[in-house]
Structure 1
Amino acid sequence: MRRIIFATGNEGKMKEIRAILADLGVPVLSMKEAGITAEIVEDGKTFEENADIKARTIMELTGDVVLADDSGLEIDWLNGEPGIYSARYMGEDTSYDIKNSHLIQLLDGVPQEQRTARFVCVISAAFPDGRILHGRGTIEGIIGYEIKGENGFGYDPIFYLPEYGCTTAELPPAKKNELSHRGKALREIKMKLRDTADKGEGKNESFDSERHTSQR
C-alpha cells in the first residue's frame, strides 16, 4: 500500500489523525495534500452513512484505501442536536466562536445535570475491492458555561469533562488523543486495518512500518 488518504481538509483533524496513525508506516494524506478537490454530498441520515459516502467517493476517484470520518456533538437538552449537522450548524462558514456562544445561550439556566452531551465519531475505511470497515468512538461530558481552551477545535472549547475539571480544548494533545471520540475510533480502525493485513485480505496490504520502509 503506497498511501492512505483521509477524506478531510480539516488540519485540526489531520494533526490528531497523524499522531494516532503514525505507526502504520504508510503516509496519511489529506484530500488537499493528495490534490483532490471533489465535492462530496453528505446526505446520509447517520454518522455511519455519511462516513461511508465520503470514503467510498474518494476511493472510487483514486483507487487508494480511503478513510473518512463523520463526527458531531449530541446535546441531550437539544434532543441530540446538532448531531450529524454539527459542521453545518448555523452555516458552514459560521465561526465556531459564534456556534459555541449560541449553544451556551440555548442552555442558559439549564442545570449541570441536564447539560449532558457527547462527541461521536465514526470512521469508515473503503478499500478498492469494495470492502468497508468501521471504527466508532464516543466521549461523554457536559456543555460548559463559557468558551475555554486553545488546544482543540470546533466544539472542544465548550465540551467540559467534570472528572478532569476542564474542556477538551484545555487537555494536553496527548491526553486529548487518548480520551477523544476520534482517538477511540482511530485506534479501533487501526486495529481492524492491521487485522485485515495480517489475514492477507486485500491487495498486498502491509502496515508494518519497518517492512514498508525497506520496500521503498
Structure 2
Amino acid sequence: MMVKLKKIVLASNNAGKLKEFSSLFEPLGIELIPQSQLGISEAAEPYPTFVENALAKARHASSASGLPALADDSGICVHALNGEPGVHSARYAEDEHGNRSDQQNNQKVISALSLLAQADGLVDRSAHYVAVLVLVRHADDPQPLIAEANWSGLIVEQPQGEHGFGYDPHFWLAEQQMTVAQLPPDLKNHLSHRGQAFRELIRKLSSPEFS
C-alpha cells in the first residue's frame, strides 16, 4: 500500500490545481510540493494529446527535483467546436504578449458557440472535461502511472457560482442542476474529472505491481 511516497512534486504552478490536489493527497500522508517552490520552470507543452503533455511535465519536474513528480494535463472539449479548446484550454484566448485569463477563455468559447447558433440555429452545447494524471517515480521511469477520466456537462452562456476556476462557472451539470462553480468544493473533488482520475491513480498505486 503506497507507503514509499512521502513527497511528490506537483508539476504545475496553477493555484487552483494545487489546492485541489493538496486536499486529495493530505489524507494519504503525502506532501505535495509545487514546482515553483523548488524554482522549477514550467515545461513546454507542445503535444496534441493530454497524455503526452502530462508525461513531459512530470518528467521535467522529476528531473529537476530528483523527486517523484505528478503532472496533470486537463481541459475542456466542446463537441460543437471539434473538441476545442482541448489541450489549449488554459491558453485558449492567449494574446500575442502571452496574457491570458479564465474570463477571456470562457468568452472565446461562448462567442464561438454563439456564432454557430447564428449560422445553424440550435447548437450542441455538450462538452466534457478531461483529466489525465501522470506520476513518475523518477525522471526516466519506464512505466509511469497514468490515470484518465472525463466529466460530462453543458456550456451555458451566463456564468454561475463562486467556486472553482477555469471554465467551471459555465459548465452545467444536469444531474446536480447547477454549474461546477456552484458545487461545494468537497463535492466537486468527488465528482470531478480530477477526482475520478485521482481515485484511479490511487487504485494503481495500491496495486502489488507498483513499488
Do the structures match in fold with TM over 0.5? yes
What is the aligned length?
A: 197
* 1:177/1:122 CA distance change after superposition, 3 Å: same
- Runs of 5+ consecutive residues of structure 2 not aligned to the other structure: none
Find the counterpart in structure 2 of residue 209 from structure 1: none
Shift of 1:178: 1.0
Find the counterpart in structure 2 of residue 185 from structure 1: 197
Task: Choose the corresponding residue for 1:117, options 100, 116, 127.
Answer: 127
Task: Choose the corresponding residue for 2:26, options 14, 22, 25.
Answer: 22
Find the counterpart in structure 1 of residue 152 from structure 2: 140
> Matches of 1:98 and 1:43 in 2, distance apart?
22
- Runs of 5+ consecutive residues of structure 1 not aligned to the other structure: 203-216
Shift of 1:67: 0.4
With the length of structure 1 as denominator, give the TM-score of the two structures.
0.85
Output the amino acid matched with 1:176.
K
Shift of 1:23: 2.0
Answer whether contact 1:20 1:187 (CA < 8 A) is retained: no
* SS at 1:5 equivalent: strand
* 1:200/1:77 CA distance change after superposition, 3 Å: closer
Find the counterpart in structure 1 of residue 136 from structure 2: 126
Task: Choose the corresponding residue for 1:78, options 65, 78, 81.
Answer: 81
Answer whether contact 1:55 1:124 (CA < 8 A) is retained: yes
Answer whether contact 2:153 2:171 (CA < 8 A) is retained: yes
Q: Are 2:36 and 1:40 equivalent residues in the alignment?
A: no
* SS at 2:152 equivalent: strand
Answer whether contact 2:40 2:61 (CA < 8 A) is retained: no
Shift of 1:200: 7.4
> Matches of 2:197 and 2:79 in 1, distance apart?
22
Output the amino acid matched with 2:107.
S
Answer whether contact 2:9 2:35 (CA < 8 A) is retained: yes
Q: CA RMSD in A?
A: 1.7
Matches for 1:93-172 after TM superposition, within 5 Å: 93-108=99-114, 109=117, 111=122, 114-128=124-138, 130=141, 131-172=143-184
> Matches of 1:96 and 1:86 in 2, distance apart?
9
Answer whether contact 2:131 2:197 (CA < 8 A) is retained: yes
With the length of structure 2 as denominator, give the TM-score of the two structures.
0.87
> Matches of 2:41 and 2:28 in 1, distance apart?
26
Find the counterpart in structure 1 of residue 17 from structure 2: 13
* SS at 1:160 equivalent: strand
